[in-house]
Amino acid sequence: MATAKEFQGSKPTWCPGCGDFAVLSCLQTALSELGYEPHQVCVCSGIGCSGKISQHLSSYGFHGLHGRAVPLATGVKLANPELTVICSGGDGDGYGIGLSHSLHAMRRNIDLTYIVMDNNIYGLTTGQLSPTSQKGFKSKTSPSGSAEDPIRPLELALAAGCSFVAQGFSGEPKELTQLYKEAIRHQGFSLVNVFSPCVTFNKINTYEFFKENLVRAADQPGYDPADRLAAMKIAADTGSLVTGILYREERPPYHEVMIGGGDLPAVRAEVVLPPAEQEALLAQFA
Question: Shortest approach of ligand SF4 to residue 91 CB, angstroms?
Answer: 10
**Nearest approach, Cβ of residue 195 and ligand SF4 (Å):** 12
Nearer to ligand SF4, 124 or 241 (CB): 124
Q: How far is the CB of 78 from ligand SF4 (least distance, A)?
A: 31
Q: Which is nearer to ligand SF4, 159 or 199 (CB)?
A: 199
3-class state of residue 11 by DSSP: coil
In whole angstroms, the minimum distance from the beta carbon of 254 to ligand SF4 comes to 32
Distance of closest approach, residue 10 Cβ to ligand SF4, in angstroms: 15
CA distances from 271 to 42, 274, 276 (A): 20, 10, 14
Binding site for ligand SF4 (CB under 6 A): 14-15, 18, 20, 49, 119, 123-124, 198-201
Residues 6+ apart with CB under 8 A from 157: 102, 106, 165, 191
Strand partners, 248: 164
Q: Which letter, b or e, does each residue of 55-75 get, where b requires 16 or more Cβ atoms within 10 Å of its Cβ? A: bbbbbbbbbbeebbbbbbbbb
CB of 120 to ligand SF4, least distance (A): 10
- Nearer to ligand SF4 by C-beta: 118 or 182? 118
Q: Which is nearer to ligand SF4, 103 or 207 (CB)?
A: 207
Strands, DSSP E only, in the chain?
41-45, 60-63, 84-90, 113-118, 164-169, 190-195, 215-216, 242-248
CA–CA separation, 122 and 133 (whole Å): 9
**Beta bridge partner(s), residue 118:** 195
Closer residue to ligand SF4, CB minimum distance, 103 or 199: 199
Spatial distance between the Cα atoms of 11 and 138, rounded to a whole number of angstroms: 32
Please give the Cα distance from 204 to 182 (Å, whole number). 30
Q: Which is nearer to ligand SF4, 173 or 252 (CB)?
A: 173
